[in-house]
Amino acid sequence: MQNDSILIQSAVKKMHMPENLSIGMRVAEQREKCKKEKCDCDYYGFAFGQSPFPVPSLLKRKLQENAHFGGYVHPGGIPELREAVAGFYQRHFRIKTSADRVIIGPGTKTLIYMILNILKGNVIIPSPSWIGYAPQAALLGKSWHVLPLHPEDDYRMKPEKLEAFLTSIPKQQHLLVLNNPNNPTGVLYSAEELEALAQVCRKHGVLVLADEIYAMTSYRIKDFTSMGSLYPEGTFITGGLSKDRSAGGYRLGVCLLPSKGGSSIVHSFENMAAALYTSIPTPIQRAAVSVYQESSEIETYFQITREIHRIMGRVISTSCSQIPGLKATMPQGGFYFLLDLQELKEAFQKNGLKTSNQLGAALLDHPHHIAVVAGDAIMLPPDRFGVRIAFVDYDGEAAYHHYQKKPPVTEKEELAFVRETAPRMLEGVEAIEKFVRQYC
Ligand SMILES: Cc1ncc(COP(=O)(O)O)c(C=O)c1O
């Protein structure tokens, strides 16, 4: 060992910044530069999945009012918030749980990490998937199985395919990741589909990580069903303030524990929280009570923001699908869809783009400047030419006010709404078309 070197654990050494964040930062830096000097090097920002809307006023007001709470609190969360979260899930999703089975944590990312850390056994991660699960499993030295999802199934997990998959892997405790509504595909599972998946999981004793962080953004909210209402004994539900309440920076996530596992699973979380971070910021927890309790103000916020996501998603996905050779999923919740460029694979490969990672890099490069998340960053195999489009690159505050004044009714009005409030995203679709034409 040289004197000036510090030895780093090999699992940590192998880590790198997730692509959505690194591209997001690159886009933000370039935008700062573009503000200072006139330039034509701005990016079309389809990479970073952050809600464009302002933090709900109710939450901001409550944070100010609670700023003086400076003490540490219970590692599992303050009782008022755990109570309010249990009530929220009962009201909206018919989940029967008690406050002591709700854990408040620093964002769902950390809560997911804690679940993976606490549970024995392997993880089953669908492909495609959100960028976050696999690096956490790798950091913990856990193995994972990749469950391929198929375009012909609309990238939905199918019970018979899950059954065959579970039969093909070693018998032990597994944790299946089920993200609904889905990042990156925008798919929303019906109650019937979830019921069938729950039956397979029950039969095989598989636990489920129901990552439902986009639940309240489901465009037809009545169609959203929580896996936790159908498979309460085996489901960990995660959610939080980051997406539907546009407060990712508040770093507040919640986890509803399965009904089985007694108090030992609760204590495992609380003990781990105490060892890692003691408790999460008290003023943020106190403020969050207001947006989990019943309130017409927050319901209006949910209703307007989910409608804007629906409009943006429909218009941008439809415009992408109109480009010859491209197919886009039609999102039903959240703010992403998957853009499939597989039909053009040969043309790309002939021209030097051998993998979907290379495709992502070429889209980002000068002169295209199209920022997307591609390839293994969404758990796609290297020869599957698919990219994730996040449709949130617009001024959310202006769009919110515009919608409040005059909500568009017809499809024509919706297109006009997108033209007016999110012109850059439509230009981005044109840029994608130009890029594709260059190769084909
Ligand atoms: C599917 C999914 N799960 C979890 C997270 C993490 O959210 P949080 O901000 O609560 O850590 C994200 C954030 O992008 C996500 O897209």
pLDDT digits (tens, 9 = 90+) for 306-325: 999 999 999 999 999 999 99
64 in a structural domain: no
Do 278 and 145 share a structural domain?
Answer: yes
User: In whole angstroms, what separates CA 89 from the centre of its chain?
Assistant: 19
Dihedral sign for Cα atoms in the order 68, 71, 75, 79? negative
Tell me if 341 sits within 8 A of 385, measured CB to CB.
Answer: yes
**Mutation choice for ligand 1 from 125, 129, 179, 243, CB with most ligand atoms inside 8 A:** 243
Instruction: Give the position, in ligand 1's atom list, of the atom nearest the Cα of 20.
Output: 14
415 in a structural domain: yes
65 in a structural domain: no
- Between the CA of 252 and the centroid of ligand 1 the distance, in Å, is 11
The last residue of a domain, from among 295, 322, 342: 295
- Between the CA of 248 and the centroid of ligand 1 the distance, in Å, is 8
Instruction: Report pLDDT digits (tens) over 164-184.
Output: 999 999 999 999 999 999 999
Rounded mean pLDDT, 67-77: 98
As a whole number of angstroms, the distance between CA 120 and CA 118 comes to 7
Q: Pick the residue whose CA is nearest to atom 6 on ligand 1.
A: 109
Instruction: Report pLDDT digits (tens) over 369-396.
Output: 999 999 888 999 989 999 999 999 999 9
- Between the CA of 413 and the centroid of ligand 1 the distance, in Å, is 32
Tell me if 180 sits within 8 A of 293, measured CB to CB.
Answer: no
Do 136 and 193 share a structural domain?
Answer: yes
**Amino acid at site 381:** P
Do 243 and 133 share a structural domain?
Answer: yes
CA dihedral 222, 226, 229, 231 (to 10 degrees): 140
Do 413 and 376 share a structural domain?
Answer: yes
SS3 string of 241-266?
A: CCCCCCCHHHCCEEEECCCCCHHHHH
As a whole number of angstroms, the distance between CA 387 and CA 338 comes to 6
145 in a structural domain: yes
CA 188-194-195 angle, to 5 degrees, is 155
Do 378 and 328 share a structural domain?
Answer: yes
As a whole number of angstroms, the distance between CA 52 and CA 214 comes to 14
Q: What pLDDT, on the 0 to 100 scale, is given for residue 292?
A: 98
Tell me the CA distances in angstroms from 293 to 53, 55, 138, one per residue in order: 21, 16, 37
Show the domain range for 282. Answer: 71-295
Nearest Cα to 111, choosing from 226, 280, 259? 280
Interhelix angle 411-421/396-405, nearest 10 degrees: 140
- Name the percent of the chain lying above pLDDT 90: 88
Ligand 1: residues within 6 Å at CB? 49, 107-109, 130, 132, 179, 183, 211, 213, 240, 242, 248, 253
Nearest Cα to 349, choosing from 244, 440, 226, 231? 440
- The CB density around residue 195, as the number of other CB atoms within 10 Å, is 16
Tell me the CA distances in angstroms from 292 to 77, 95, 131, 206, 406, one per residue in order: 14, 14, 27, 30, 28
Q: Which of 149-153, 238-242, 278-282, 355-359 has the lowest mean pLDDT?
A: 355-359
Do 175 and 47 share a structural domain?
Answer: no
- The CB density around residue 120, as the number of other CB atoms within 10 Å, is 8
- Between the CA of 368 and the centroid of ligand 1 the distance, in Å, is 28
2 in a structural domain: no
Q: What pLDDT, on the 0 to 100 scale, is given for residue 2?
A: 59
Q: What pLDDT, on the 0 to 100 scale, is given for residue 20?
A: 67
Q: Pick the residue whose CA is nearest to atom 13 on ligand 1.
A: 49
Dihedral sign for Cα atoms in the order 252, 257, 261, 262? positive
The last residue of a domain, from among 267, 295, 323: 295
Do 265 and 318 share a structural domain?
Answer: no
- Between the CA of 346 and the centroid of ligand 1 the distance, in Å, is 34
Q: What's the CATH number where 187 sits?
A: 3.40.640.10
Tell me if 144 sits within 8 A of 122, measured CB to CB.
Answer: yes
4 in a structural domain: no
Tell me if 324 sits within 8 A of 206, measured CB to CB.
Answer: no
In the chain, how many domains are there? Answer: 2
Q: What's the CATH number where 392 sits?
A: 3.90.1150.10
- Between the CA of 135 and the centroid of ligand 1 the distance, in Å, is 14
Do 191 and 337 share a structural domain?
Answer: no
**Amino acid at site 260:** K
Do 169 and 261 share a structural domain?
Answer: yes
Structure tokens at 260: 């089985």
- Helical residues (DSSP H) of 336-422, grouped into ranges: 345-350, 356-364, 396-405, 411-421
Instruction: Give the position, in ligand 1's atom list, of the atom nearest the Cα of 50.
Output: 14
Instruction: Give 260's pLDDT tier (boundaries 50, 70, 90).
Output: very high
Residue with tokens 């021209």: 351
Q: What pLDDT, on the 0 to 100 scale, is given for residue 159?
A: 98
Nearest Cα to 100, choosing from 118, 123, 77, 119? 77
Do 269 and 249 share a structural domain?
Answer: yes
214 in a structural domain: yes
The last residue of a domain, from among 295, 321, 356: 295
- How many CA atoms lie within 13 Å of 57's alpha carbon, on the beta-carbon side? 6
- Between the CA of 108 and the centroid of ligand 1 the distance, in Å, is 6
Do 33 and 151 share a structural domain?
Answer: no
pLDDT score of 57 more than 60: yes
